[in-house]
Amino acid sequence: MSFRPFRIDPDIRRARMPPVELYRDSDWWQALCERVFPRSWQLSPAARFQPRGNGLHPWTLLPGCLDEALLLARDENDRLRCLSNVCTHRGMPLVEKACAANSLRCPYHGRQFDLQGRLQASPEFEAAENFPSEEDDLPRAAVGEWQGFSFAALHPKLDFERWIETLNRPTAPWLNADWPSEPTETREYEVEANWALYMENALEGFHLPWVHRGLSKSIDFASYRTELFASGNIQVAEASQGEAAFDLPAKHPDAGKRIAGYFAFLFPNLMFNFYPWGLSINLIHPRGMGHCRVTYLTFVCKPELRGQGAGGDLDTVELEDGAAVAKVQRGIRSRLFQPGRYSPSREAGLHQFHRLLAEYLCGHEPMPRVIDT
C-alpha cells in the first residue's frame, strides 16, 4: 500500500484520527523519515554537558531513522555549530570520539577543516581546477540553544525561536532553574511499539486513572488541562491534597493552585517534564515501524523533594506506559480496526499532534500560533 495524504479536521469535535496505515505501512514510515524528521528539531545527546572551548562531540541523528552523522563543534569564542561529520572528499567520518581540537583532519586522505567547517587544506589537489569551492566545505545543520541544552535540525520547517516558544512562557517556573550540568540519572527502554503510539500516550492524561493507579493518587484528574502552542503543548496537573507542588509566586497565572507537574511536548518526539524536584526529559527515538527507544534524562535540583508527588516514581510510570503502548501496537494489527474519534475534553494534545503530522507529511494549513483549551 502506498502513502496517501490525509487531513485532520481542525475542529476536534468533528475530527477523526489518522489512517491506521500510519503505524504499520512501510511507505508511510518512509514518508515520515523523508518529510517529518529531517525538518524537525532534535535534542543533541550532549544535553547540558555539551562541548566547551574547541570541543567536538560526534553523534548520529536518529539512528534507525535518519542515521545522519553530525558533529557539534564549539570554537574558542564559545560559538556552537553543528557540522556534517563526513569528509567532503570521499565520505570518511571525521571524528569518532568527543575531544578538544583546533581543527578537523580527515584520517583517510588528510583533508583539513576549521571549526566552522571551512576547508583549510587538501593534499594533492594543487592541480584541481576551480578548487576549492563552497561545496568542499562541510555542510551545516541548524542549531539552537535553550537553558544550556543544544538542538539541531537538518532542514527546519520552523525557526528555533518559534519552535521553542512552548518552553519560553515568561512566567514559566522552570526558566533559569538551577539544574545540574549533567543528568542525575539516565535510563533507556526498548519499546515494541511505533514511536507515534508512544507519543500519543504521552500527550493525554485520559489514561491516567486506568493505567497509572499510583500516579493518579498524586494528582487531581478533574482539573487536568492542556495548553496548545504553535509546535507543542503543555499539560498541567494539579496536586492532590498533601502531595508535593510547585511554590509559585503571587503573580503567576497558576498562583493559588497546587501544581504537581508541567509536561511540555515539542513536536515531534520530545517531552520536557517539570516537577517540584527538577526535570525529566523523554526522547522518543523512532527505530522502525514497530519499535522505538525511549531515553530518560533526569536533572534533580531539589533532592529533598525527590520521590514525592507526581514525579515520585517515574520508573513505575515509564514501565506502565511502555507496556500499554506495546499492547496497542498489537491491537492495531487487527484487520477490523480503524482509528476512531477524539475526546474533545481529554485529547486536545493528541489532536494537535496529528494535525502537525498531517501538516509536515501532507502540507496542510499551518497551526495557529496559540490556541487555548
The predicted structure's pLDDT at residue 30:
93
Other C-beta atoms closer than 10 Å to the C-beta of 39 total 15
Is 332 within the bounds of a domain? yes
Flag the least confident range among 259-263, 322-326, 349-353, 361-365: 361-365
Same domain, 206 and 126: no
143 with 226, same domain?
no
**Could you tell me if 185 and 331 lie in one domain?**
yes
Lowest-confidence pick of 17-26, 123-132, 355-364 = 355-364
Mean pLDDT of 333-360: 95
* Mean pLDDT of the 84-97 span: 97
For cell 506506559, the residue is 321
CATH of the domain at 189: 3.90.380.10
**Grid coordinates in use for 303?**
533532592
DSSP-assigned beta bridge partners for residue 112 = 105, 121
Asked, for residue 227, whether it belongs to a domain, the answer is yes
Average pLDDT of the segment spanning 60-85:
93
Note whether 46 and 192 are same-domain residues.
no
Q: Among 75-84, 253-262, 341-350, name the one with the lowest average pLDDT.
A: 75-84
- What is the radius of gyration, based on Cα positions, of the chain? 22
- Whether 232 and 359 map to the same domain: the answer is yes
Q: Which of 264 and 369 is assigned the larger pLDDT?
A: 264
Model confidence at 368: pLDDT above 80: no
Which H or E run contains 163?
helix 160-163
- What pLDDT, on a 0 to 100 scale, did the predictor assign at position 47? 56
Bridge partner residues of 60 (DSSP): 69
Give pLDDT tens digits for 226-242.
999 999 999 999 999 99
- The overall average pLDDT reported for the chain is 91
Which pTM value belongs to this model? Answer: 0.91
Residues 208 and 61 occupy one common structural domain: no
* Residue 182 shares a structural domain with residue 329: yes
Report the percent of the chain where pLDDT is more than 70.
94
- Alpha-carbon span 218 to 51, nearest angstrom: 39
3-class state of residue 83 by DSSP: strand
User: Which of 197-206, 211-220, 240-249 is predicted least confidently?
Assistant: 211-220
- Burial of residue 139 (CB within 10 Å: 0-12, 13-18, 19+) is middle
Stretch 147-153: mean pLDDT: 93
Q: Which of 105, 120, 155 represents a domain boundary (last residue)?
A: 155
Q: For the chain, how many structural domains are there in total?
A: 2
Mean pLDDT of the region 15-43? 94
State the pLDDT at residue 55: 85
d(CA 256, CA 267): 30
372 has pLDDT over 50: no
Quick one: 112 and 230 in the same domain? no
pLDDT band per the 50, 70, 90 thresholds, residue 50: low
Q: Establish if 17 belongs to a structural domain.
A: no
- Residue that has been written with the C-alpha cell 514510515 in this structure: 29
- In this structure, the answer to whether residues 101 and 232 fall within a common structural domain is no
- The confidence score (pLDDT) of residue 2 equals 67
CB atoms closer than 10 angstroms to residue 253:
11
pLDDT digits (tens, 9 = 90+) for 94-111: 999 999 999 999 999 999
- Domain boundaries, position 125: 42-155
Q: Kindly report the CA angle at 172 between 224 and 159, in degrees rounded to 5?
A: 105
Contact 311, 275 (CB under 8 A): yes
Tell whether 251 and 307 lie within a shared domain. Answer: yes
188 and 318 in a common domain: yes
CA distance 277 to 283: 20
Beginning with the edge strand found earlier in the chain, give each strand of the sheet holding 292-300 in spatial order: 185-191, 292-300, 278-286, 270-275, 259-266, 232-239, 219-229, 370-372
Whether residue 218 sits in one domain with residue 112:
no
What pLDDT is recorded for position 52? Answer: 60
Residue tagged 571525521 (cell numbers): 94
